[in-house]
Amino acid sequence: MEIIIQSDSQAGDAVAARMIAGLIRRKPDAVLGLATGSTPLGLYRELVRMHREEGLDFSRVTTFNLDEYIGLAPDHPQSYRRFMFENLFNHINSPVERIHIPDGMTDDVPAFCEAYEQAIRDAGGIDLQVLGIGTDGHVGFNEPSSSLASRTRIKTLTRQTLSDNARFFENPDEQPHHVITMGIGTIMESRQVVMLAFGANKAEAVSRTVEGPVCAMMPASVLQFHSKAHLILDDASAAGLAKADYYRWVYANKPDWQRH
């Protein structure tokens, strides 16, 4: 794993945006995996800025989102579809037919999940997957104990995730307990992973992901098996890392030809 520690989330967003923009410039028909949550908001703002000010072109880019709540209509304020349009797609030139977000209203979840996996394969696989991390180490909505080989499927949220995300729901009865999420096996097949984690409340999950054992109880730790995973942190989320000084030194001394 490449551990990139920046002083704050804004600097981290800029590193992630440069990686994505670099990929799109090298490969204009790149396939991106995208995440929701509060963490990638700054990254999306930076991509919108690059589109407006630097002409970053999304017209041939295909996207697949990680997850969606079951039972929320696409225009529900808390649906991940609405989140993605409000925070990214409404502000860039992504053709709607290239945007894929799990359908939380499907009446056949298993068939939908199989079709989603097939659509990823048909697009040639994901070139770069953006990830956040839950305080319990979940990626997408793959909660602790998820199979590390899992595919897109239904999951039930843990109490911890429900309480972490409760702040977004005015009416607690509207908060779904079930979701559709890409599996960990699906995520691991993407050619490159960029995980963002900012703030002190992510420090424990980050240190267990990077320096703990790989195990299903800390789903993000599986990234230790990914050959091209970058973790972008701020000082607060990196605070629990035993080897933080080493990661800082490595990144500061990265040869120019290896820079993003």
Residues that bind ligand GLP (CB under 6 A): 35-39, 66-67, 132-134, 140-141, 161, 165
State the minimum distance, in angstroms, from the CB of residue 23 to ligand GLP. Answer: 20
DSSP E strand stretches across the chain:
2-6, 31-34, 62-65, 67-69, 99-100, 128-131, 153-156, 178-181, 193-197, 229-234
State the minimum distance, in angstroms, from the CB of residue 163 to ligand GLP. Answer: 11
* Closest to 83 (Cα-Cα) out of 50, 53, 39, 127: 39
| 138: annotated active-site residue | yes
| Element of type H or E holding 221 | none
Nearer to ligand GLP, 172 or 255 (CB): 172
Measured between its terminal Cα atoms, the distance across the chain in Å is: 15
Q: CA separation (Å) from 226 to 129, 174, 191, 223?
A: 12, 36, 9, 5
Which one of the listed residues 51, 117, 127, 138 is annotated catalytic?
138
Which one of the listed residues 46, 117, 136, 189 is annotated catalytic?
136
| 136: annotated active-site residue | yes
| Element of type H or E holding 43 | helix 41-54
Measured CA to CA, the distance from residue 103 to residue 116 in angstroms comes to: 10
Which one of the listed residues 46, 143, 189, 234 is annotated catalytic?
143
Which one of the listed residues 13, 46, 67, 189 is annotated catalytic?
67
Q: CB 242: neighbour CB atoms within 10 A?
A: 9
State the minimum distance, in angstroms, from the CB of residue 253 to ligand GLP. Answer: 30
Q: Which residue is nearest to ligand GLP (CB)?
A: 132
| 143: annotated active-site residue | yes
State the minimum distance, in angstroms, from the CB of residue 194 to ligand GLP. Answer: 12
Nearer to ligand GLP, 42 or 51 (CB): 42
Which are the catalytic amino acids? 67, 136, 138, 143
